[in-house]
Amino acid sequence: MKAVTITDIAKALNLSTSTVSRALKSSYKISEETQQKVKEYAAKYNYRPNLLAQGLKSMGSRSIGVILCAIPNSFFAEVLNGIEFIAASNNYHIIITQSHESYEKELNNLEQLLWKSVDGLLVSLSCETCDVEHFRNAQSEGTPVVFFDRVTNLIDTHTVVADNAKGTYEGTVHLIKSGCKRIAHITSAPNVSISKERLAGYIQALKEFHLPVREEYIKYCNHGGMISDEVEKAVNELLVLDETPDAILTASDRITIECFAMLKKRNIKIPGDIALTGFSNFSAPQLFNPALTTLKQPAFEMGKVATGLLLQLIENKRLPKDFEKRVLPIELHIRESTVRSQM
Amino acid sequence: MKAVTITDIAKALNLSTSTVSRALKSSYKISEETQQKVKEYAAKYNYRPNLLAQGLKSMGSRSIGVILCAIPNSFFAEVLNGIEFIAASNNYHIIITQSHESYEKELNNLEQLLWKSVDGLLVSLSCETCDVEHFRNAQSEGTPVVFFDRVTNLIDTHTVVADNAKGTYEGTVHLIKSGCKRIAHITSAPNVSISKERLAGYIQALKEFHLPVREEYIKYCNHGGMISDEVEKAVNELLVLDETPDAILTASDRITIECFAMLKKRNIKIPGDIALTGFSNFSAPQLFNPALTTLKQPAFEMGKVATGLLLQLIENKRLPKDFEKRVLPIELHIRESTVRSQM
DNA sequence: TTTATTTGTGCAAACGTGTGCACACATTAC
DNA sequence: GTAATGTGTGCACACGTTTGCACAAATAAA
């Protein structure tokens, strides 16, 4: 009942293990006849090469390490779906670790993954991460890294992101055209790439329509909405302003949900008092009350593209001269939460 | 810059690899002095045993294979969170595969995972699966299996489930007490364990309150709601009945969402025309329109418990005489979608 | 016939760890 | 003085695969 090995085949056919090994991969100079015999026997007894042994020789594991902040997050869950899809069809498996927005955990996860000799890394940085030296080291010691979603420009490698600036630009323009004039923006930690890009799109739209950019309308949640107190604080600070906003644009799944819940808890009418839209990959924003206008990222696609690029790096060994920055489109889905018929 | 090995340490300290190996695990008879020297050197040069080499010897990989239907599903994403939590803290990693409710894919995933020599398996069966022979084989050849959520009683092993019957029982009782008399039940494939248990709870409640159990009020979705046509067909069939239901109890995340969306599309008032409640682990059912009454499973807990039990099996080697069936409580969260003030 | 070339196969080492056994040395017992 | 016991260390092989090299046999060239 034990798994059949190359040695078993060799004994059974009265050959050496080297011949069997070479016959199986049709390499070197092995006679047609021997190849046939070996392959038949292997097929018959359902031979599967031992991956640990292969790994030990090649110092590879046919595995990809993934670092992201949390699995139970609509966006990342979809990304994982895409990653698994491409990885599985190329016979790699994925090892998923969660940073929970903590720099320290991210560091620890990286160490664990390298220890497990993953062949490559797919990373979305934690909110706390400023220093990316650890990833640079990983790369320079031979483990390629591809960043997605929350990326860094301090490391030369492939990156895959959504068109964040365009997303917030279009969201903001939509709000303006719906009649909103005092648009606030609640976003993630100021150091992560997505926050900067999303802020830029928001500002660009305001300027284009000659609306003032007010510091007090821009709020940061240093843990991306994972800590609801942070979102609550942001919302509170907006609501006590002399001129309260008439719209809020949120920059992540969790922030959107939390913000929505808080406005409802305070009995603020959406969109009557405050219009609301934001980034969200929830499966059913149309069922909300009111149905939520969302900026939806191509999460599944992002996972697929990032994994494809990583596999290229892994299998080419040598790092290419110029790296790619893939930018995927964001979809604006207009629903009730931003349609102000009463204006 | 290469990783330091046991051989490196041996050479540096003028010892044999065996001595170093034994010193590192404080085993056998190695003098205090030598142990100290070795451990110091190992710590200084940040020695990490090569897991592939260890795995090759021990035929283990310190990894756990997971088979479930889909990652981007609120319930399973939370379960994965729990699995990862326990696995990581015991220095195991998890390899996640998706069956997408297909028996064939489940079979294929299992084969891949065994090939990767996982030390154990955490499985939630696909909707299509009737024959579980493949898992029995895996177990009898030394890879322990723990089933969660969708389990089978055809294999003797640990299982972890929610208290499904009690969940639907309480949900149904709640609907009855809200004034509903014609309660329909849309559930998953009839062969999966959760469907049977949930159906049983529903029937028990009806009988206890002397309401008739009508075949035409019980609908099955053979792919657990993944195919929205199936849910649409079920809802349609309910709506063309002479006596249309005044409540629907749905049995899975996807079915709940799809059903909700279809009722809204048809402008059916919830709960006025039809009250709705169902199993759901969405993060924000309170934001729905109307806020959704849900049966929430302890998904994170389920992942933790299942992984704990699996690790026991893995580390004890010998299968225990009697296996555990852990049953976790389900929470009924009452919200607007079932509150019929107008009755 | 000898020498080169081709073709197919096997030997042995390697990847990094773990472990049964033997061995050297020291101590104790008779 | 010999035998038994105890203590610490190293040898050698194993896990399953890959691969450089050698080598035997067959064929071709000189």
pLDDT tens digits along A124-164: 999 999 999 999 999 998 899 999 999 999 999 999 999 99
Cα separation, A259 vs A268, whole angstroms: 11
Is A261 at the interface with chain B, CB within 8 A?
Answer: yes
Residues 10-29 of chain B with CB under 7 A from strand D are 14-19, 22, 28-29
CB B150 within 8 A of CB B125: yes
A84, A261, A283 member nearest B71 (Cβ): A84
pLDDT at B31: 83
- Flag residues of chain B having pLDDT under 70: 1, 27-28, 317-318, 341-343
By C-alpha distance, which of B296, B16, B140, B80 is closest to A81? B80
By C-alpha distance, which of A59, A84, A102, A315 is closest to A224? A102
Is A92's pLDDT higher than 90? yes
pLDDT at A321: 81
**Chain B residues touching A117 at Cβ < 8 A:** 50-52
User: Span A90-116, mean pLDDT?
Assistant: 95
Residue extents of the structural domains in chain A? 6-49, 62-162+299-327, 164-297+332-338
Per-residue pLDDT band for A317 (boundaries 50, 70, 90) equals low
Q: Is strand C in 7 Å reach of the CB of B57?
A: yes
DSSP A116-127: TT-SEEEE---T
**Chain B residues touching A81 at Cβ < 8 A:** 70-72, 98
Q: Is the Cβ pair B97, A80 closer than 8 Å?
A: no
CATH superfamily, with its number, for domain B62-161+299-328: Response regulator (3.40.50.2300)
CA angle B133–B139–B145, rounded 5-degree value: 100
Compute the Cα dihedral for A225, A229, A234, A239 and give only its sign: positive
**Chain A residues touching B93 at Cβ < 8 A:** 95, 112, 116
Same fold yes or no, A62-162+299-327 and A164-297+332-338: yes
Is A342's pLDDT higher than 60? no
Angstrom distance, A28 CA to C5 C1': 17
Cα separation, A182 vs A24, whole angstroms: 69
Per-residue pLDDT band for A338 (boundaries 50, 70, 90) equals very high
Which residue of A lies nearest to B284 if distances are taken between CA atoms? A257
Is B257 at the interface with chain A, CB within 8 A?
Answer: yes
CATH number, domain A62-162+299-327: 3.40.50.2300
Q: Chain D: nucleotides under 7 Å from a protein CB?
A: 7-12, 14-20
What is the H or E stretch that residue A147 is in? strand A145-148
Token readout for A194 is 């997505």
Angstrom distance, A63 CA to C30 C1': 64
Locate tokens 């990862």: which residue? B84
Q: Is strand C in 7 Å reach of the CB of A19?
A: yes
Q: Is the Cβ pair B72, A70 closer than 8 Å?
A: no
Q: Is the Cβ pair B284, A115 closer than 8 Å?
A: no
pLDDT at B169: 98
DSSP 8-state secondary structure symbol assigned to residue B118:
-
pLDDT at B58: 87
Angstrom distance, B17 CA to D11 C1': 11
Angstrom distance, B96 CA to C4 C1': 58
Q: What are phi and psi of B241, to 5 degrees?
A: -65, 155
**Chain B residues touching A51 at Cβ < 8 A:** 115-117
CB B201 within 8 A of CB B169: yes
Per-residue pLDDT band for A119 (boundaries 50, 70, 90) equals very high
Q: Is strand D in 7 Å reach of the CB of A312?
A: no
A72, A260, A261 member nearest B81 (Cβ): A72
By C-alpha distance, which of B189, B177, B188, B173 is closest to B130? B189
Q: How many CA atoms lie within 13 A of A292 on its CB side?
A: 30
Beta strands in chain B (DSSP E): 63-68, 93-98, 120-123, 145-148, 159-162, 183-187, 218-220, 247-250, 275-279, 293-296, 325-328, 331-333
pLDDT at B343: 46
pLDDT at A30: 83
Is A341's pLDDT higher than 90? no
Is A36's pLDDT higher than 70? yes
pLDDT at B26: 73
Q: How many residues comprise chain A?
A: 343
CB B96 within 8 A of CB B80: yes
For domain A164-297+332-338, give its CATH number from 3.30.460.80, 3.40.50.2300, 3.40.50.620, 2.40.30.10.
3.40.50.2300
Cα separation, A228 vs A186, whole angstroms: 13
By C-alpha distance, which of B75, B87, B17 is closest to B47? B17
Q: In what order do the strands lie in the sheet containing A218-220?
A: A218-220, A183-187, A247-250, A275-279, A293-296, A331-333
Q: How many CA atoms lie within 13 A of B286 on its CB side?
A: 11
